[in-house]
Structure formats: structure tokens, C-alpha cells
Structure 1
Amino acid sequence: MDQWLTSSHIVMLGLLFGFAIAHSGLAALRPWGEQLIGPRLYRILFALVSLPLAVVLIIYFFNHRYDGVQLWQVKQYPFVIPLVWGLSAVSFVFLYPATFNLLEIAAIEKPQVHLYETGIIRITRHPQMVGQVIWCIAHTLWLGTSFTLVTSIGLVAHHLFAVWHGDRRMRARYGEAFDAVRDRTSVIPFLAILQGRQTLQWQEFVRWSYLGVAIFIILLWQAHPFLIGATSNVAW
């Protein structure tokens, strides 16, 4: 029990809770904030709050990933490495669509809330949640520690809340237009397609952005040892 309840487990849950409050809270306040200071300044404020918190989470996770109890060990099996990297690559395919509008994210163009029903949204209405779940499965399988399991549970819980919170905000903004999209899409991947409420259009995935996803995955694979080494120099 003492191994399970190391301080790092509690700290990580606290960091995740703080990030969830900041991220989801600022998302909820977006309509009010944009009226007060404008969309561009509010996007910058959002980034100035969310990005440092995300960096802290990543560094702390890297430095404490082996804390607690070793629940299982599967690294010795040859199929595990390609499985983990394959799942990680798929997770970024789901996570990446949120960054398609890079000029809006950087506040160069006016940030907007888009009501999509194309591409990855045909598979799932909440691709970031699905991507995060897949990422957590891959890394929890690979590391097998209680710290990683606790981290993954916290991340998945936040993203499940974000599913409800996101739908609620979109319903408030778009009303019946969102209801129509919700009826033609699903949270569970491929469910709406299997039920005949949606059709998959493969040509919508032929985008330069997905080439960027592939390049990013390759660069991340190459940089992974460097990132772990760099974070180990931070005394957290």
C-alpha cells in the first residue's frame, strides 16, 4: 500500500485536476471572454495558461513514470514494441485534427468554433478523447506501473468529461444545427457508420495535414530518447 500511495501519484492527480479546471474552465468562458477582449487575445490567454500546465504535466510524467508498483512487464515480448508504436501513431491521427487550423491556433487568423461533420468526425464526434484513450492504453501497456495507470485514469476521466462539456457548449452555440450533427455522428468510433447514420468518405483523408501527422510521428520517435533525457534534468 505504501508503494501505491507514493506522493507522486497524488501530485499527478492534483496536476491533472488543475489542468482540467483551467482548460475546461477557459473553454466554458470563451463566449464571455471573446466579447470582453476579442477572439485573438482570448486564444493567446488560453494558450498562456494551458501550454505551461501541459508542459509541467509532460515533464512530471516522464520523470515519475516508473513510480509505484510494477503491475506487469511485457517489454520482453517482441510484438509489444510495434504494437505500442502503432497504437501511438493511431492516437495522433485522432488527436491531430484539432490542429488543422494552425493559423487560428496561433491567433494569426481570427479563432473560431467550427461545426464539422467531415473526415475524422465521421468516425467519432470527439476524436481527441478517442486519441487520448488509445495513447493511454499504449503507454500503460508499455510501462505497466501504478503511476502510469493512475495518470491514464485521470487523463481519460478528464476527456470523458470533455465529451459532455464539449457537446453542451456546441449545443448552446449552434442549437438545432448541432443536434442534427449529433444525430448523424457518434462518440464511440465507427458506431454511427455501423448503424447507417453516417458514411465514410475516404477522399476526405487525402490531405497534406495527414502527411504532417506521419512526419511528426517519425520525428517524435527519433526525439523520444532526447526528450526523456532532457526532462530528467528537471528536478521535479
Structure 2
Amino acid sequence: MISLLGAAFFFLGIHLFVSGTRLRDMLVERLGEIRYRAVFSIASAIGLTWLAIVYGNAPHIALWPTVPAARIAALVLVLIGFLFVFIGLTTPTPTSVGQENAVDRPVDGILTITRHPFLWGVAIWALAHLLAVGTAAGLVLFGTMLVLALIGPRAIDAKRARALGARWDLFASHTSNLPFAAVLAGRTRLRLASVRWWQWFGAFAGYALLLQWHAQLFGVTPWAGL
């Protein structure tokens, strides 16, 4: 469990105290954008691999019961998370790495829900697994991903505001971090018609494949306890 906590602190630390901060700006000045991204990507991959390995070897001490209703809710939440992640990754957005110029595109599709669809998808996925797993090791792993997904958007917003200035301010004024906040505030209209059919299909297909191969990939069937 100590190793799992160490991996969690490392993975959280490089994102919370480097990515999106003034320290990142200093490192980019010294290393250059390409080298910085390469180093940070390697560090992130190391942290994520470390988390995955030690999670598999950690004692899984139950903290709360995982009742069937919670597992059903988790299955629904993972589907919603897949929609946010897949459609978000396949939609040009200035909040993604290397897509800063998308700030000048009209706001539509999933960006009318949130300007951080990928991270909200991860947050929903992590919450689903917290409901379904209910162990101390699961709390550390999925809690780490949940915290990072919820805090990450603020760091990205600050980084983009420094880099893009008024262009970002205009984009941000028509979008929101919190899902549906801009729609409810009247700053944009919900426009999902621009989401392509293959984006919907890809998300549902990915979800179906995950359910089919979950036991082989992760050693746990998503239907356990139902």
C-alpha cells in the first residue's frame, strides 16, 4: 500500500505542481516546448505504469460494500464517461495538447456541454469505479484519477489564458468547465447535432468491447455481483 500511495503522490504531483503552473513555463523556456512535452509524457507514462503495477499487487481491503445497485450505476456511468472521452478526443478543442488554434473555431458539439470533455469523462469513469470496487487500493487509484480530472481543468484554463490571451477569453465566455453550466447560464446553446455519427458509434463500440474484454484485461468481470 505504501508503494501505491507513493505512485499516487508522484502522478498527482507532476500534474498539480508542474503542468499548468509557472514552473511549466520556466521549464518550457529552458527545454523548449517539444522537449518539455517529451519529458513530461515520459514522466506521466512512468507514473501511470507504476500505479497500475502496484495496484495489482496491493492488498484489496474492503472499505464499503458494493451492492448490485452501485454496480449497475457504475456500468451506466462508465458508458457516459466513454461518450465524453471518445467524443472529446475526436473533437478539436484548445484544451487539448497541440490544438491551441482550435480556440478560433465556433463552439459546438460536446464543447457546448464542457470545454474539458476528456477530463470529465475520466472523472465519471473514476467515480464509477469507486462505486464498484469499494477497496482501499481502489480508493487510492481511482481517487487519484478523480482528483486529477477535477483539478486539471483549472490548470489547463490558466495555461491557455496566459498563452492565448483575448482569444481564450472569448472562447471561455461561450463555454464552461462544469458540464452544462454555460448552457444553463445562457452563454451558449446545446448543439449536439454536429457530433458525427461515427463519434457516437465509436464510443458505444469501445464501451461494448471493454465489457467484453474487461475480465481478460483486468482480471475482473464487470458483471460480478449482479
So what's the TM-score if we normalise by structure 1? 0.73
Where does 1:16-35 land on structure 2 (aligned, <5 Å)? 16-23=8-15, 25=18, 29=24, 33=28
> Could you tell me how far apart the structure 2 residues matched to 1:89 and 1:51 are?
25
Give the counterpart letter for 2:53 in structure 1.
Answer: I
In the alignment, does 2:181 pair up with 1:181?
no
- CA shift for structure 1 position 171: 0.1
Could you tell me how far apart the structure 1 residues matched to 2:110 and 2:199 are?
12
Asked if structure 1 preserves the Cα contact closer than 8 Å seen for 2:8 and 2:144, the reply is yes
Whole-angstrom distance in 2 between the partners of 1:207 and 1:51: 32
- The runs of 4+ residues in structure 1 deviating greater than 6 Å are none
Contact 2:82 2:206 in 1 (8 A): no
Match of 1:49 in 2: 43
Partner of 2:6: 14
Task: Summarize the alignment of residues 144-183 of structure 1 with structure 2, pairs less than 5 Å apart.
Answer: 144-183=134-173
Query: How far apart are residue 50 of structure 1 and its match?
Result: 2.1
Q: Match of 1:234?
A: none
* 2:77 counterpart residue number: 87
Task: List runs of 5+ in structure 1 lacking aligned partners.
Answer: 1-7, 103-109, 231-236
Question: Post-superposition shift, 1:139?
Answer: 0.8
User: What is the root-mean-square deviation in Å for CA atoms of aligned residues?
Assistant: 3.1
The alpha-carbon deviation at position 45 of structure 1 amounts to 4.1
- Partner Cα separation in structure 2 for residue 61 and residue 210 of structure 1: 32
CA shift at 1:91, angstroms?
0.9
Deviates more, 1:13-22 or 1:23-32: 23-32
Task: Give, in whole Å, the separation in 2 of the partners of 1:30 and 1:162.
Answer: 16
Work out which of the residue numbers 204, 215, 222 in structure 2 matches 1:225.
Answer: 215
What is the number of residues matched between the two proteins? 210
Deviation at 1:162, TM superposition (A): 1.4
- Aligned with 2:193: secondary structure? helix
Q: Distance in 2 between matches of 1:11 and 1:85?
A: 29
Q: Alignment partner of 1:17: what SS? A: helix
In the aligned structure 2, how far is the partner of 1:63 from the partner of 1:89?
A: 27
Separation in 2, partners of 1:34, 1:129:
27
3-state SS of paired residue (1:68)? coil
User: 1:154 & 1:111 partners in 2: Cα distance?
Assistant: 25
The one of 115, 139, 148 aligned to 1:125: 115
Kept after mapping to 1: 8 A contact 2:20/2:158 = no
**Distance in 2 of aligned mates of 1:56 and 1:191:** 36
Cα contact 2:161–2:168 (8 A) shared by 1: yes
Tell me by how many angstroms 1:46 deviates: 4.0
CA distance in 1, matches of 2:4, 2:117: 24
Same amino acid, percent of matched pairs: 28
Q: Distance in 1 between matches of 2:9 and 2:110?
A: 28
Q: Could you tell me how far apart the structure 2 residues matched to 1:199 and 1:144 are?
A: 38
Q: Deviations over 1:141-171 (max 9, x none)?
A: 1112233223333323223331221111010
> Residues 217 and 195 (structure 1 numbering): CA distance in 2 closer, same or farther, change over 3 Å?
same
Whether contact under 8 Å (2:175, 2:187) holds in the other structure is yes
